[in-house]
């Protein structure tokens, strides 16, 4: 067998994959010598739909890009639109956004931990982590009314306040997870069989992580201190001085393997708990939105002109929304979503190199891939699918930049004319 | 007449084994679920599973070598069932006591694994082929420690001069724990440990379930099996679990309670039989259920290394201690 390379297809449907993507592995015996990754199976044309709806409806669409990241996309989108339309967000609303997004990080990381140990065949821990995850889900339901799709951010604020009766519930949850942290860390990090399956597996060196633009816990586990909350503070994160977490914070030199990714996510759960606690303490009283009436908000957005970028540190890394608005139009002219998984696709290639077939599920899971966030394009013409390569992709993006540039130039020309006419 | 007697005895043992084997599978699943904080399936779930599989369509892949693919499940069940006919059931001797010994059992235990591997290779699918390769590597890994355990015990029994050394009936009748000195007890404990570690590997249970590894190779060598064929492998697994547990019980824990309690006759036999089943359950619980909820799945190289070096060392140390003990005790 050893002298023969054969291909093992994994996906788009496979028990190791929670969402569709296709890997084609070149394998020698049990050793992986190469991998080809083909995404695109979860593409639903959400941005296209968004360009035909008003901005309030776009917010609902953004929330439904992904069920696990259902606060990250709206937070990035609202920031982009507020940025473009110049809408202020009251301080209390910023705190509430931070609280809900950190709650999402806790539930997402616990969900990931369960999936990861399930890939290792350790179902006992899967059931433990998912059981303790229910607590944060209960709090999310209590605060927002939903377990998924929280519908909390709206342009200019949030849609629901946190009532005084809810404070003790959240504090109770904080105590619960603090008390649980030692046990979880012990179960996940000190277990011999987990260590045997994750130490030295799926290594991504800091150089590779840097060169391939890895984001989120994937980059941080390789030792890069890279976190939007630290590097480009937004909302009230700047006040908290959030620091990117690497395995060094656990007292270990980063090796960039799967084990380090477990450490980073576990520590981030603790970090999120601290942030939520500070939010509860420091959150000022006041308005939760600057434009409470939706029709007024819609009218204001319709008049807005310009472009905006919103970025947020989602549980999986940096999510970016770009939006361009034109006066007199209810719908955005451009809406572009870049999810963290897109940046973490290419780091898979060095991670898989020289690993074994048995490592495929845990390495695939280790970046916490989110296909429905990431799949933004799929090219089909006359029912024949087509692949786009680097050169064509570059040409297409140059073309798009040119189009945007000329539209912006045209807009500033119009603005100049209007100014001139006024004078 | 003797043939007729053997026939109905075999029928009783096999029907009983199917019922008990599937029943214990249900108990195993229930206990594992409770340990994981789940409710778990009802105890009769394995019977329902088997019944459902038997009425499902049996698909043979176009790329499969049809006759090998379809005959291997039968071979697995027959081999697993045959083992049971050579094992003493509580107070009763083996059905085929005069026709085979421990060496035969050693080979029969390997047959279901080989059958599964051949079936996997014959199904012509990449996942199944990977699973089959892993099954063979596992087989090569655990066979040596297993053989050391069995040879060690047989050698010590031969030293007692109480009957044919490789006969399970002799081993069951002469529990070694009380026949050896302190060194020998330690040696036996080592051998028992080695056998308990081999048991989940022999049965392809977590952490040694790599030939099937659902999240890696989607069921591996079982991936292409369906319907009756899959039902037969399911049954073979239940029977083999029972056989391995029975082997552990007969080799290391062949004690009855009727004798010490002073109950004779039919009542004593029924009591010993019941006690035998309790011991089986205890072994399954210790070597299969607890182990499979407490570990993550290992990789094939980790298993091979672990079995070839540390576990073989443990088994050999046990054997060495038995030899030393023999030299001391005489």
Distance from CA of A12 to the nearest CA of B (A): 13
**pLDDT given for residue A291 in this prediction:** 86
pLDDT tens, residue by residue, A227-261: 888 888 888 888 888 888 888 888 888 888 899 99
* Among A126, A115, A119, CA closest to B36: A126
* Among A351, A209, A177, A395, CA closest to A273: A177
**pLDDT given for residue A418 in this prediction:** 64
Which one is predicted more confidently, B4 or A202?
A202
**pLDDT given for residue A102 in this prediction:** 92
Contacts of A197 in chain B (CB under 8 A): 296-299
Contacts of A30 in chain B (CB under 8 A): 130, 133, 300-301
Closest residue in A to B210 (Cα–Cα)? A358
Residue B1: pLDDT band (50, 70, 90) is: low
Interface probe with B: pick from A11, A18, A124, most Cβ of B within 10 Å: A124
**pLDDT given for residue B164 in this prediction:** 75
For chain A, the residues whose C-beta falls within 8 A of a C-beta of chain B are: 1, 6-9, 14-16, 29-30, 117-125, 127-128, 131, 191, 193-194, 196-197, 356-361
CA distance B236 to B243: 10
pLDDT tens, residue by residue, A332-344: 988 888 889 888 8
Residue of A121, A128, A194 with shortest CB distance to B209: A121
Q: ipTM surpassing 0.85, yes or no?
A: no
Contacts of B207 in chain A (CB under 8 A): 121, 193
Tell me the average pLDDT across A278-304: 88
Contacts of A123 in chain B (CB under 8 A): 36, 206, 293
**pLDDT given for residue A423 in this prediction:** 43
**pLDDT given for residue B310 in this prediction:** 86
Residue A422: pLDDT band (50, 70, 90) is: very low
Distance from CA of B299 to the nearest CA of A (A): 6
Least confident of A19-23, A200-204, A381-385, B194-198: A381-385
Q: Do B293 and A123 touch (CB under 8 A)?
A: yes
Distance from CA of A194 to the nearest CA of B (A): 6
Q: How many domains does chain B have?
A: 1
Tell me the average pLDDT across A43-61: 88
Contacts of B120 in chain A (CB under 8 A): none
Least confident of B8-22, B128-142, B181-195, B259-273: B259-273
Closest residue in B to A357 (Cα–Cα)? B216
How many of the other CB atoms lie within 10 Å of CB of A162? 22
> In sequence order, what DSSP letters do the residues of B25-88 get, joined into one string?
HHHHHHHHHHHTT-----TTHHHHHHHHHHHS-----TTS-HHHHHHHHHHHHHHHHHHHHTS-
Residue of A9, A15, A121 with shortest CB distance to B296: A121
Interface probe with B: pick from A120, A192, A201, most Cβ of B within 10 Å: A120
Residue of B35, B130, B215 with shortest CB distance to A361: B215
Q: Do A193 and B213 touch (CB under 8 A)?
A: no
CA distance A323 to A310: 8
**pLDDT given for residue A411 in this prediction:** 66
Q: Establish, for the pair of chains A and B, how many residue pairs have beta carbons separated by less than 8 Å.
A: 83
Residue of B130, B209, B302 with shortest CB distance to A357: B130
Least confident of A81-95, B21-35, B116-130, B171-185: B171-185
CA distance B132 to B138: 10
Least confident of A88-92, B82-86, B264-268: B264-268
How many of the other CB atoms lie within 10 Å of CB of B4? 8
- CB contact at 8 A, A97 and A75: yes
3-state secondary structure B207-259: CCCCCCCHHHHCCHHHCCCCHHHHHHHHHHHHHHHHHHHHHHHHHHCCCCCHH
Contacts of B299 in chain A (CB under 8 A): 196-197, 356, 358-359
Over chain A, what is the mean pLDDT?
86
Residues contacting A239, CB < 8 A, separation 6+: A282
Residues composing chain B: 330
Residues contacting A75, CB < 8 A, separation 6+: A97, A101, A153, A235, A310, A312
Distance from CA of A193 to the nearest CA of B (A): 5
**pLDDT given for residue A1 in this prediction:** 44
CA distance B324 to A253: 48
Rounded to whole angstroms, what are the CA distances from A182 to A133, A169, A178?
Answer: 15, 22, 8
pLDDT above 90 (res B181): no
CA distance A82 to B263: 87
- CATH superfamily entry for domain A46-374: Cytochrome-c3 Hydrogenase, chain B (1.10.645.10)
Closest residue in B to A115 (Cα–Cα)? B215
Tell me the average pLDDT across B277-294: 88
Tell me the average pLDDT across B28-55: 90
Q: Do A122 and B295 touch (CB under 8 A)?
A: yes
Q: Do A358 and B206 touch (CB under 8 A)?
A: no
Residue of A16, A123, A358 with shortest CB distance to B36: A123
**pLDDT given for residue A256 in this prediction:** 86
Give the range of the structural domain holding residue B81, as residue numbers without chain letter: 2-329
Q: Do A194 and B302 touch (CB under 8 A)?
A: no
Looking at chain B, the number of H-run helices and the number of E-run strands are: 14, 0
Local structure of A123: helix, strand or coil: helix
pLDDT tens, residue by residue, A17-41: 888 888 888 888 778 888 988 888 8
Closest residue in B to A130 (Cα–Cα)? B37
The dihedral region occupied by A158, where left means phi > 0, alpha psi between -120 and 50, and beta the remainder, is beta
């Amino acid at each position: 067998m050893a002298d023969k390379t054969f291909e093992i297809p994994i996906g788009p449907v496979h028990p190791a994959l929670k969402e569709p993507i296709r890997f084609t592995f070149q394998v020698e015996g049990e050793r992986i010598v190469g991998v080809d990754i083909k995404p695109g199976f979860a593409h639903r044309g959400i941005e296209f739909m968004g360009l035909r709806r008003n901005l309030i409806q776009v917010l609902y669409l953004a929330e439904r890009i992904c069920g696990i990241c259902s606060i990250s996309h709206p937070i990035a989108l609202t920031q982009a639109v507020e940025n473009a339309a110049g809408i202020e967000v009251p301080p209390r609303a910023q705190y509430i956004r931070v609280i809900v997004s950190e709650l999402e990080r806790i539930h997402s990381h616990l969900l990931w931990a369960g999936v990861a140990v399930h890939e290792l065949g350790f179902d006992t821990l899967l059931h433990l982590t998912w059981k303790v995850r229910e607590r944060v889900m209960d709090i999310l339901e209590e605060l927002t009314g939903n377990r998924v799709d929280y519908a909390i951010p709206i342009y200019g604020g949030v849609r629901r306040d946190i009532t005084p009766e809810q404070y003790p519930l959240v504090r109770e949850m904080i105590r619960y997870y603090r008390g649980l942290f030692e046990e979880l860390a012990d179960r996940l990090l000190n277990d011999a069989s987990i260590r045997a399956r994750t130490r030295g597996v799926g290594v991504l060196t800091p150089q590779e992580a840097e060169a391939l633009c890895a984001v989120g816990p994937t980059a941080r586990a390789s030792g890069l201190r890279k976190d939007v909350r630290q590097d480009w503070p937004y909302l009230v994160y700047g006040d908290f001085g959030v620091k990117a977490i690497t395995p060094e914070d656990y007292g270990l030199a980063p090796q960039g393997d799967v084990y380090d990714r477990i450490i980073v996510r576990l520590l981030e759960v603790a970090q999120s708990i601290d942030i939520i606690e500070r939010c509860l303490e420091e959150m000022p009283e006041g308005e939760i939105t600057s434009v409470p009436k939706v029709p007024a908000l819609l009218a204001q957005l319709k008049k807005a002109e310009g472009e905006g970028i919103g970025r947020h540190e989602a549980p999986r890394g940096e999510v970016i929304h770009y939006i361009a608005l034109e006066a007199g139009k209810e719908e955005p002219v451009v809406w572009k979503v870049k999810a963290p998984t897109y940046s973490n696709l290419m780091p898979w290639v060095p991670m898989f190199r020289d690993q074994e077939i048995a490592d495929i599920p845990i390495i695939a899971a280790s970046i916490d891939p989110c296909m429905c966030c990431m799949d933004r394009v799929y090219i089909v013409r006359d029912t024949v699918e087509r692949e786009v390569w680097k050169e064509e992709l570059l040409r297409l993006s140059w073309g798009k930049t040119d189009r945007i540039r000329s539209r912006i130039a045209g807009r500033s020309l119009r603005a100049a004319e209007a100014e001139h006419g006024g004078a | 007449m003797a043939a007729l007697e053997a026939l109905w005895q075999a029928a009783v043992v096999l029907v009983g084994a199917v019922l008990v084997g599937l029943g214990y599978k249900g108990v195993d699943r229930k206990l594992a679920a409770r340990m994981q904080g789940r409710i778990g399936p009802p105890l009769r779930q394995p019977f329902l599973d088997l019944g459902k599989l038997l009425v499902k369509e049996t698909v043979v892949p176009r790329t499969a070598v049809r006759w090998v693919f379809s005959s291997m499940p039968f071979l697995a069940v027959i081999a697993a069932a045959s083992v049971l006919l050579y094992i003493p059931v509580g107070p009763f001797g083996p059905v085929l006591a005069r026709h085979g010994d421990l060496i035969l059992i050693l080979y029969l235990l390997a047959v279901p694994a080989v059958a599964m591997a051949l079936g996997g290779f014959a199904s012509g699918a990449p996942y199944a082929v990977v699973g089959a390769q892993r099954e063979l590597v596992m087989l090569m890994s655990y066979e040596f420690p297993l053989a050391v355990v069995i040879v060690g015990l047989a050698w010590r029994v031969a030293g007692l001069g109480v009957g044919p050394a490789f006969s399970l009936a002799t081993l069951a009748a002469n529990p070694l724990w009380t026949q050896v000195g302190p060194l020998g007890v330690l040696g036996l404990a080592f051998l028992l440990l080695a056998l308990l570690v081999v048991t989940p590997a022999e049965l392809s249970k977590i952490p040694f379930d790599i030939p099937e590894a659902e999240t890696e190779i989607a069921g591996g060598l079982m991936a292409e099996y369906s319907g009756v064929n899959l039902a037969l492998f399911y049954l073979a697994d239940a029977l083999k679990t029972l056989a391995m547990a029975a082997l552990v019980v007969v080799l290391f824990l062949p004690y009855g309670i009727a004798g010490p309690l002073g109950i004779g006759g039919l009542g004593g036999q029924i009591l010993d039989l019941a006690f035998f089943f309790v011991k089986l359950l205890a072994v399954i619980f210790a070597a299969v259920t607890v182990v499979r909820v407490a570990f993550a799945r290992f990789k094939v190289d980790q298993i091979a290394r672990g079995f070839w070096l540390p576990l073989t060392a443990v088994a050999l140390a046990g054997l060495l201690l038995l030899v030393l003990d023999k030299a001391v005790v005489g």
